[in-house]
Chains A and B, each alone.
Chain A
Amino acid sequence: MAQDYSHVKTILATDCGSTTTKAILIEKEGEEYRLKVRGEAPTTVEKPAEDVTRGVLNAVGEVEELSGRTLLKKVKVLHSGKGIKGGTDVYLSTSSAGGGLQMMVAGVVKSMTGESAQRAALGAGAIVMDVLASNDGRLGHEKIEAIRRLRPDMILLSGGIDGGTISHVVELAELIGAADPKPRFGSGYDLPVIYAGNKDARGNVKGSLEAKTDLYVVDNIRPVLERENLGPARHEIHNLFMEHVMAQAPGYSKLMEWTDEPIMPTPGAVGEIIQTIASTYGIEAIGVDIGGATTDVFSVFGGVFNRTVSANLGMSYSVSNVVAETGLPNIMRWVPFSVDERAIRDRVRNKMIRPTTIPQTLEDLIVEQAIAREALRLAFEQHKSLAVGLKGIQQQRTISDAFAQTATGGTLVNMMNLDMLVGSGGALSHAPRRAQAGLMLIDGFMPECVTFLAVDSIFMMPQLGVLSKVMPKAATQVFDRDCLVRLGSCVAPVGSGKEGSNCLHIEADFPGLGHISEDVKLGEMRLLPLPVGEKVRAKLDPARGFDLGAGKGDAREVTLEGGVVGVVLDCRGRPFQIPEDETKRVNAITGWLQNLDIYPKVF
């Protein structure tokens, strides 16, 4: 039976990350929930402690000290109740310790049920290590070898619509059976396999896998090609994450007893809070978490939630891979001075082998933030390729479609409609100046029209995500007031033109600036200071050939919101082209950096 959370006054939430365990305490003040204090301690999954609860107790202990509220009793989180002084009404937790949830998925056709299975796993907070499919071009023994080598925490098998192909699904099941896979944790247990494919093939799949794996059967994720049904598979993934993966990890069985709700995978929780915010405010939103090893991108467009994890894009362990994928010239294009290529490579390798180091000089910082821009850009490209409509569905045509026969499976990401872009992760949350985080987000995602930018102040989105499952209002309040650091609105006209020609005319009454009526040229970036919480109505008149959402060259009135950075006018055009000539490029970047007051020194 669902618990009643209507009288909750105190909420304790922890996020057990790979390196640190973060605890937050939320309390009700009047009618509002607000963050009180935050504590942090090293995660203790690894030796010598090998018990995740030690780290939790340490982090909660810090919260206890800072808040003055008793939250621990002996070696346990204290729940409030009659006759108990202090304690918490609710205790929730997320976890990504030990590499989080690592899954393999399988489907008949890679771009159909394979992609649906991938979306189901990613949405549940997993890292998808590999996608097996009948048409992936690999031979049977190669697939078996991949399953044995990767050792996932669980496998999601899908394929075929209900009443569809049986032979292909059974073939995949036989391959998994032949691989005789073993889980990462708990050598004495069978690997959990979730079957979410053609219901007519259930008997055959059971025959192939029941004896060798811990098989769970749920509803088909693609009962018909025209519809996805990811809920049951995601729910089962969460259950199995708790029962198998978490239960086998050191100390988690104890932690599971303490929490009032099931422990969620960290990325799944972040996805929850992004979805909650998007639905609460009725907006289209993108969230990004750039970590050391991986970069997660979350998006909600048209009510459809998508999450992707770029497992090889990060700012420490995976930093070399970012350079390898994008190439040095792409990184160097963001740097406003010339640097020896070898020096850059040395910096990158040093960062990889010493992941906890931070830039010591301004040049180091600029190079690192250039890499972050490329990591964000690549992760977003990957996201756009997976956040797509369903493929292989029948279309209704009229004669007007003669010359515009759109294909199915187009990306759902429409930057023209994006309302909010939220960044998280060390590179963004801990940038020395907030404007640096703002510019990294703009350069990495290239927002269009009018987009509000924000960063997560102390990375509490996971805790708020798990809270949003049970108390969405409380989660939204804390997210809005304590989690978000508002950077400000970004105005970016879409279009291209001749360098130096007019791009945008803006008219508005800015507090402190008075009435402004300015022209911005193509290739320029400008900053208009507007404090946090302030809003202004502005008339934006794009030049001919440029679009701000009302059509090419058509003016519109919008509300611009302030932040710690202010309102950024990005008139570099979309698609963005950086000048190829070295002198012009350096001049352009220097101009942008100066106008936005990004770094203290002028190059």
Chain B
Amino acid sequence: MPRPIANEPSAAAAPPSIGKIFTAFALIGISSFGGGLVAYLRDVVVDREQWLSKDEFLGALEIGQTLPGLNSTNVAIIVGRKLRGPRGATAAALGLILPGVAVLIILGLLYVRFHNNPDVAAALAGVAAAAVGLLLQVTLKIGGRSFLRPKDLMFIIPTFLMVGVFHVSLAATLFLLAPIAIWLNRPESLKKKAPAPSSDPEP
């Protein structure tokens, strides 16, 4: 029987069962063709099941985007944990991932078997060319006005060159650039301590 546990239940109601969590996320995992998973997650978690309020969901998304890993699986982990602790998080993540994995097992086996067939190779060339367009569109959409801001280009271009062209390892690139980028965006309170152009007296 589902029994309320003390892991930050978001509402007064008893948290959903593990099976219910798995099913809800598996439905997203199986129906979300073409990306944009966060929107699907929001629909189910906030609107349909009302497990999280709008603000709680935005909070979860903020964490999910800041931490490494896929935004969608990170959000699933956070929502699952809030509902049912470790087992809830596991059920949510597996629910989200497994349907796609099942589809990919089939696609993968077909690919391994037929990728040398000229018909299939021609279709795959089209599919791959389309995937590049999709990735570029997402990049331009997320990048938006960053591509016009010198302060952002100062990091976009070196990152692109280091990782994309010169194959500097991702770890090295992140450790070199991220501290500078984060420092340049440091909290205002710390900026005041730095020598400012105004006539602040030395501390």
A binds B: no
